[in-house]
C-alpha cells in the first residue's frame, strides 16, 4: 500500500512539474537551456543584462522555422491553386511559361525560369484585386488546403516547440514578429489565429498597393510590382522599416536568415540567435547544405563563430507538430 502511495505521489509531482514547464516539447538540452537562461537574464530587474519591456523584440522567420517548407514553400501551393482557378480567364497560359508547365503539373518546369518565372506567377495571382478580396482568397484557401504528402492542413504543420516558445516569450514581456521572405499579404490573414501574432507584427515581401475609389468606396488595389524582397539582406531592412528597433532575439533556419541573425546578435547587451536545423528524416525532413528549399550552408558554418545555437529537430524536440485534434 505504501509503495502504491509513493508511486502515486511521485507521478503527481512529475505531472505538476511537467504542467509548469513552459517548453514541454523541448528536451532538456543546450537549446532549451540557452532560451531559459537568456529570458531569465533579460527579464530580471537589477541584472546587468536586464532589458526593458519595450525593447524585448524577438523576430522569427516563418518557412522552415515556424512551419514546414518542403517540398516547396507553402505559398507556392497557393499560387498553383490560384493559377488553376484563373486559367479559364487566360487561355494564353496554355502556351505561355511558366503557366503552361504549371497547368500540366510539371512543377520542375514551372520553376525552371527561376526568380523571373516566380515573380510572373506571383504577379498574375497576387495582384489586380483589392486587399480585402485577396485576404478572403487566402483565408478561404488556408482553411481547407492540405499538404500534398502528409495530407494535413498546412496550418497543422506548424512546429509545436515553436508555438511554446512564442507563448513563453510573450509571457515574459516580449513582442514577437514574423520576418519572412513570404508575402506579407499572404501571411497576415491567418498568422494571428495560428501563432498568436497579429497582422501588424508581420514583416514580409511586399508588392505594390494603390489607393482608388470603386463604386464610391475607397479601396487598396494590389499591383504587380515587387516593392520589397524580405529575404537575406532585405530582412534587416524590413525590420528597420516596420519595427524600428533592433531585435534582441532572432530565430531562423536557412541562409536566407543569415543577415537577420547577424544584425540581431551584433547589437549591444544580451543577444540570442538560434537556427532550426532540419535533422529529423523520420518525423519531418532532413536537409541543409544541398537543399533547393531552405538551404543551410553558410549559417551552419558560421553558427559557432557567431555564437548562434543550432536546434536539432531530432535531438532537441520531443514533438514536431501539435497533437491531432
What confidence tens digit (pLDDT) does each residue in 48-70 have?
999 999 999 999 999 999 999 99
> Is the pLDDT assigned to residue 18 strictly greater than 80?
no
What does the pLDDT read at residue 110? 86
Three-point CA angle 169, 41, 270, nearest 5°:
90
> Is the pLDDT assigned to residue 142 strictly greater than 70?
yes
User: What percent of the chain has pLDDT above 90?
Assistant: 88
Give bridge partners of residue 317 from the DSSP assignment.
26
What does the pLDDT read at residue 15? 45
Q: Does domain 26-72+153-316 have CATH number 3.40.50.920?
A: no
- The pTM for the full model equals 0.92
Among the ranges given (108-112, 127-131, 267-271), the one the predictor scored with the smallest mean pLDDT: 108-112
**Dihedral sign, CA of 291, 297, 299, 303?**
positive
CA dihedral 179→191→166→20, nearest 10 degrees, is -170
Report, as an integer, the average pLDDT of 122-150.
95
What does the pLDDT read at residue 19? 58
Q: Which three cell numbers stand for residue 243?
A: 519595427
What does the pLDDT read at residue 201? 98
HEC states along the chain?
CHHHHHHHHHHHHHHHHHHHCCCCCECCCHHHHHHHHHHHHHHCCCCCCCCCHHHCEEEECCECCCECCCCCCHHHHHHHHHHHHHHHHCHHHHCCCCHHHHHCCCHHHHCCCHHHHHHHHHHHHHCCCEHHHHHHHHHHHHHHCECCCCCCEHHHCECHHHHHHHHHHHHCCCEEEEEEEEEHHHHCCCHHHHHCCCHHHEEEEEEEEEEEEECCEEEEEEEEEEEECCCCCHHHHHHHHHCCCCCCEEEECCHHHHHHHHHHHCCCCCCEEEEEECECCCCCCECCCCCCCCCCCHHHHHHHHHCCEEEEHHHHECCCCCCCC
> Is the pLDDT assigned to residue 12 strictly greater than 80?
no
| pLDDT band, very low/low/confident/very high, at 224 (cuts 50, 70, 90) | very high
What does the pLDDT read at residue 107? 84
> Is the pLDDT assigned to residue 258 strictly greater than 60?
yes
What does the pLDDT read at residue 1? 44
| pLDDT band, very low/low/confident/very high, at 8 (cuts 50, 70, 90) | very low
Block residue for cell numbers 504543420: 157
Report, as an integer, the average pLDDT of 222-236.
96
Q: How far is CA 245 from the centre of its chain?
A: 20
Report, as an integer, the average pLDDT of 22-51.
97
Give bridge partners of residue 275 from the DSSP assignment.
252, 310
Report, as an integer, the average pLDDT of 78-103.
94
> Is the pLDDT assigned to residue 98 strictly greater than 80?
yes
Average pLDDT over the chain, rounded to whole? 93
Pairwise pLDDT comparison (98 vs 112), residue with the higher score = 98
Report, as an integer, the average pLDDT of 136-159.
97
Q: Are 174 and 57 in contact (CB under 8 A)?
A: yes
> Is the pLDDT assigned to residue 14 strictly greater than 80?
no
Amino acid at each position: 500500500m505504501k509503495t502504491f502511495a509513493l508511486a502515486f505521489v511521485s507521478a503527481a509531482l512529475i505531472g505538476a512539474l511537467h504542467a509548469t514547464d513552459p517548453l514541454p516539447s523541448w528536451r532538456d538540452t543546450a537549446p532549451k537551456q540557452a532560451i531559459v537562461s537568456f529570458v531569465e537574464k533579460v527579464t530580471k530587474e537589477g541584472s546587468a543584462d536586464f532589458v526593458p519591456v519595450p525593447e524585448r523584440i524577438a523576430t522569427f522567420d516563418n518557412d522552415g522555422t515556424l512551419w514546414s517548407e518542403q517540398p516547396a514553400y507553402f505559398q507556392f501551393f497557393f499560387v498553383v491553386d490560384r493559377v488553376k482557378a484563373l486559367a479559364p480567364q487566360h487561355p494564353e497560359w496554355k502556351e505561355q511559361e511558366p503557366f503552361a508547365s504549371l497547368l500540366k503539373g510539371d512543377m520542375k518546369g514551372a520553376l525552371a525560369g527561376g526568380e523571373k518565372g516566380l515573380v510572373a506567377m506571383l504577379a498574375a495571382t497576387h495582384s489586380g484585386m483589392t486587399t480585402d478580396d485577396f485576404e478572403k482568397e487566402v483565408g478561404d484557401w488556408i482553411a481547407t488546403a492540405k499538404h500534398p504528402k502528409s495530407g494535413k492542413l498546412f496550418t497543422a504543420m506548424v512546429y509545436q516547440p515553436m508555438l511554446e516558445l512564442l507563448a513563453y516569450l510573450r509571457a515574459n514581456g516580449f513582442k514577437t514578429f514574423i520576418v519572412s521572405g513570404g508575402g506579407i499579404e499572404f501571411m497576415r490573414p491567418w498568422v494571428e489565429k495560428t501563432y498568436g501574432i497579429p497582422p501588424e507584427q508581420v514583416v514580409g515581401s511586399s508588392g505594390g498597393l494603390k489607393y482608388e475609389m470603386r463604386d464610391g468606396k475607397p479601396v487598396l488595389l494590389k499591383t504587380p510590382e515587387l516593392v520589397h524582397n524580405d529575404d537575406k539582406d532585405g530582412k534587416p531592412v524590413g525590420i528597420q522599416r516596420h519595427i524600428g528597433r533592433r531585435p534582441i532575439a532572432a530565430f531562423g533556419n536557412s541562409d536566407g536568415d543569415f543577415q537577420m541573425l547577424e544584425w540581431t546578435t551584433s547589437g549591444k547587451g544580451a543577444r540570442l540567435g538560434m537556427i532550426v536545423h532540419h535533422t529529423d528524416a523520420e518525423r519531418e525532413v532532413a536537409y541543409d547544405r544541398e537543399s533547393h528549399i531552405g538551404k543551410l550552408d553558410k549559417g551552419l558554418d558560421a553558427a559557432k563563430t557567431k555564437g548562434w545555437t543550432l536546434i536539432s529537430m531530432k535531438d532537441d524536440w520531443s514533438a514536431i507538430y501539435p497533437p491531432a485534434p
